Structure 1
Amino acid sequence: MGQTAATAPLDPLEPRDLVAPHHDDKSLNETLLDHVWRKPGKGWFMLFGLTLSALGLLVIGVTYTLARGIGVWGNNQPVGWAFDIINFVWWVGIGHAGTLISAILLLFQQKWRTSINRFAEAMTLFAVMCAGLFPLLHTGRPWFAFWLFPYPSTLGAWPQFRSPLVWDVFAISTYLTVSALFWFVGLIPDLAALRDSSKTKLQRTIYGLFALGWRGSGRHWHNYKIAYLLLAGLSTPLVVSVHTIVSFDFAVSLLPGWHATIFPPYFVAGAVFSGFAMVITLIVPARKYLGLRDVITDRHLENMNKVILATGLIVSYGYMMEHFVAWYSQNQYEMWTFYVNRATGPYAGVYWLMIACNVITPNIFWFKKCRTSIPIMWVASIAVNIGMWCERFIIIVTSLSQDFLPSSWGIYTPTWVDWCIYIGTLGLFGTLFLLFLKFVPAVAISEVKELQLELKHARHNSHGAH
């Protein structure tokens, strides 16, 4: 006996529960544009004041650094890389979820990306902006940063292409450019919607300027789809290449704890892990404040938690393989780094916090109750980002502070300037994100409408079959 549509088991890949069924085009417009036209509440202004205050710390830290030199940081011999590179790698990793959600899930036709891709793309842009500050300041003379680019030089002073610093410049600049184009192209239909619903001439002029004359004609949609797909195709290899290149900063060296071929895949998995955690951290309060529960549903959050679980397991596997290879090689320096220095050395507390946050925490998502509990997932996502920051700290500081010669060992302690710049980048990120929520639709309106239409057709066909 065949099963009817009503009694057949649900396909886990079927895009059910991705948009509340009672919505039509008009109500979706009202829901998704409301937060742009609505006057911000006290909560938004309080958060904006907080992030602006943190941004002020960035200005203080950077100004003091430029005036006095990077000697005001905690960097020393042998720890020449410290907070600057830790935070650089951490911010680049956070930016990875946006490209994965937008580009790769688009190419695989995963419908659950639709309501969250705009959040993730914006997060990518702002995170990469924060990341780019650190290598620039780390050079000590950021006003000569143009030396890192292969501009036509009459003096023949070309970049040193064997330097990982140059690789970073090319990777980050390419990633930022493609991500910005991808984000902006996806915004064009929604900017046109804002233009058409504007209440003042100034608003209509500004949004109309950025909408690039969009009229929603068949030709416009045809060109839009092709451009969006091409940019998705360009973005996809960047997910793998950018953090792989960042991992080469370490893997090409000979330091114990760094000289490892597992770094590229392990760094990419860690980047997606921290990126998805940051999306959860931002999207949970935003969907409540903006009233987007009908569009960003529990199904979206549960799927993201599944990705966090999967990438968390890959990261845990990377940790195990590092320890296994150190033991299997019987290299005394590698064994010292992994089994003694990291676990029992001066930074052991940071190491065990990393294990608790990155290895233990994601495993709670094996349980559906935890995957669908808003408070649990939000706290877990913050823990994951703390753990990933600790991971970068452990990788960089422990390998540098105690390397081959005990006579050259040293302890690293960050200064107030280090903390100001780091907290300041959090403020920069938060300020840009709050401005994004105020002036741009947080959810891709045209894509949600398209998905809603598909779901209505699917329901109609399923009722007809029944």
Structure 2
Amino acid sequence: MSKSYEYVPEPALVKGDHSFSSITDMIAKTPLSPAPKLWYLAFGLANLLLIVMLGAVGYLIWEGTGIWGLNNPAGWGWAIINFVWWVGIGHAGTLISAILFLFRQGWRTAINRFAEAMTIFAVMCAGLFPAIHVGRIWVIYWVFPVPNQMAAWPNFSSPLLWDVFAVSTYFTVSLLFWYVGLIPDFATLRDKAKSKVAKISYGIASLGWTGSFRHWWNYEKAYMILAGLATPLVLSVHTIVSFDFAVSVIPGWHSTIFPPYFVAGAIYSGFAMVLTLMLIARKIYGLEDIMNIDIMEKMNIVMMVTGNLVAFAYLMEGFVAWYSGYIYEQGIFWLYATGPYAWGFYILMFCNVITPQFLWSKYIRRNVALTFIISIIVNVGMWFERFIIAVASLATDFMPSNWDYYSPTLWDILTYLGTFGLFFTMFLLFLRFLPMVAIAEVKGVMPQADPHNYDDETKEFIESKAKPVVPEQAETV
């Protein structure tokens, strides 16, 4: 029996001719150098939006939720839509950091720090909305399991209170995971910093890291444990968020497919946001060799898979409504397509069903401009998905005599836009003062880190073997 063998080298995760030293210099120069003028411009715009958010929230607390477009029966509006959307945005960070780490996917090292930071800031934005949506915000502490002056304990059977525990746990574990991963890089910045203030600050943050074997051993154990803790959160957090809807009896909400459907949608939108921010940062900061086209293509493949899962969930929702024979469920799906919110329904179908089909093309998956456009379209579509779920189902409930059209007010819009100010203020501070790429992890996937790394003579031999083998010359086994 004869076989033809052909050596196909693995594509390099870091492009270009880089050494450990050049990788360190490339990533560390941003936090250790003066900020460019463009950063100050972006930071000023983000701060302006943050001030708008603070003003809108302050006026809401003063006047009450009547300044929003809520009505009867649409008691949930943009606040809940934005809460679910921001939580979904944060899902990719945990998946990239924890699950891909456990599966030993080396390509994650270029984007995991980026995604983890995005997760934390997105969850901060998400946590704002349930807090201000309660109406009587001065008794918001009732949602926590502590006694209060009226002996009114929290109602733990409410899924809205489950969100408090799910999201706070998610935020805590994500923050710890992010910080532990930063410790070796803090030590690198400490050693390279010229300013005394920077040396002291990064030195405190690095917790006395010396790079000894014992430190690396403890670091890797802690990182593995946190990855194991974070992995179930990828599934549990958005599953619990879906229970806000699924445990009710409202037509269009009472569906067992909501938990997996929400999780797939969260990963879909999260990867889209990571791509949007990554493609901008790699261009501005010259990180094309690390955040390269191969990594972008892998992220597009994940987006394509999760996008098709979301499309399948849409199809199954409609099928189950038809097959069940339940007239109210059938009616709400008919109203989605032909009712007062049909315009939003067709926007989400275009963004979430048609758009991911373009990613079947390898050319599009490897095209930076087209990927950037698709990533923005996906996040627009996922927002409209939450809009249709939250508003259309409530505004057209069981009794047509109750129906009313929901329209957001200026304060709904300003509050939502203001959360982008919070997100980008925190994100720009991250880009300015912290390494946006995990220096130690990127070095770990370079050829120089391989204990079996070949010398030049062996490399030439391997490259010669990479040529196609003529069948007549094939080795006989």
Does TM, scored on the shorter chain, surpass 0.5? yes
How far off is 1:141 after superposition? 2.4
CA distance in 2, matches of 1:283, 1:371: 15
Letter in 1 for 2:364: C
1:286 to 2:277 alignment:
no
How far off is 1:39 after superposition? 1.9
Corresponding residue of 1:120: 115
Superposition pairs of residues 197-208 of structure 1, within 5 angstroms: 197-208=192-203
Corresponding residue of 2:470: none
Superposition pairs of residues 288-437 of structure 1, within 5 angstroms: 288-339=283-334, 341-437=335-431
CA distance in 2, matches of 1:433, 1:456: 36
Corresponding residue of 1:45: 40
How far off is 1:451 after superposition? 1.0
Letter in 1 for 2:34: K
Q: Which segments of 5 or more consecutive residues in structure 2 lack a partner in the other structure?
A: 466-477
Superposition pairs of residues 134-153 of structure 1, within 5 angstroms: 134-151=129-146
The Cα offsets for residues 365-391 of structure 1, whole Å up to 9 and x where unpaired, read as: 100000000000000000000000000
Which shifted more, 275-284 or 44-53? 44-53
The Cα offsets for residues 245-288 of structure 1, whole Å up to 9 and x where unpaired, read as: 00000000000000000000000000000000000010001011
User: How many correspondences in the alignment?
Assistant: 459
CA distance in 2, matches of 1:100, 1:112: 13
How far off is 1:17 after superposition? 2.6
* Residues 17, 299 of structure 1: 8 Å contact kept: no
How far off is 1:152 after superposition? 5.0
CA distance in 2, matches of 1:45, 1:300: 29
Corresponding residue of 1:71: 66
Which shifted more, 136-145 or 245-254? 136-145
* Residues 402, 410 of structure 1: 8 Å contact kept: yes
Letter in 1 for 2:7: A
CA distance in 1, matches of 2:420, 2:454: 44
Normalising to structure 2: TM-score of the pair? Answer: 0.94
Look at both structures and tell me which one has the larger radius of gyration over its CA atoms.
2
How far off is 1:112 after superposition? 0.6
How far off is 1:45 after superposition? 1.8
CA distance in 1, matches of 2:54, 2:450: 49
* Residues 32, 189 of structure 2: 8 Å contact kept: no
How far off is 1:142 after superposition? 2.5
Letter in 1 for 2:329: E
Corresponding residue of 2:86: 91
Q: Which segments of 5 or more consecutive residues in structure 1 lack a partner in the other structure?
A: none
1:268 to 2:283 alignment:
no
Normalising to structure 1: TM-score of the pair? Answer: 0.96
Corresponding residue of 1:277: 272
* Residues 277, 385 of structure 1: 8 Å contact kept: yes
* Residues 60, 420 of structure 1: 8 Å contact kept: no
RMSD: 1.5
1:216 to 2:184 alignment:
no
Identity %: 55
Corresponding residue of 2:252: 257
How far off is 1:331 after superposition? 1.2
* Residues 256, 334 of structure 1: 8 Å contact kept: yes
Corresponding residue of 2:230: 235
Letter in 2 for 1:355: M
Give secondary structure in 1 for the equivalent of 2:110.
coil
How far off is 1:133 after superposition? 0.2
CA distance in 2, matches of 1:295, 1:260: 42
Corresponding residue of 2:102: 107
1:8 to 2:7 alignment:
yes
* Residues 142, 148 of structure 2: 8 Å contact kept: no
* Residues 81, 386 of structure 2: 8 Å contact kept: yes
How far off is 1:157 after superposition? 2.9
CA distance in 2, matches of 1:184, 1:142: 31
Which shifted more, 358-367 or 46-55? 46-55
Match of 2:51 among 56, 63, 76: 56
Which shifted more, 302-311 or 291-300? 291-300
* Residues 332, 393 of structure 2: 8 Å contact kept: yes
How far off is 1:158 after superposition? 1.9
Letter in 1 for 2:349: I
C-alpha distance 301-455 of structure 1, shift in aligned 2 (>3 A): farther
Corresponding residue of 1:23: 18
C-alpha distance 458-378 of structure 1, shift in aligned 2 (>3 A): farther
Corresponding residue of 1:181: 176
How far off is 1:159 after superposition? 1.2
How far off is 1:456 after superposition? 8.5
The Cα offsets for residues 298-352 of structure 1, whole Å up to 9 and x where unpaired, read as: 111000000000000000000000000011011111111112x111111111110
Letter in 2 for 1:61: A
Letter in 1 for 2:245: F
* Residues 195, 208 of structure 1: 8 Å contact kept: yes
CA distance in 2, matches of 1:407, 1:31: 64
Give secondary structure in 2 for the equivalent of 1:283.
helix
Letter in 2 for 1:432: M
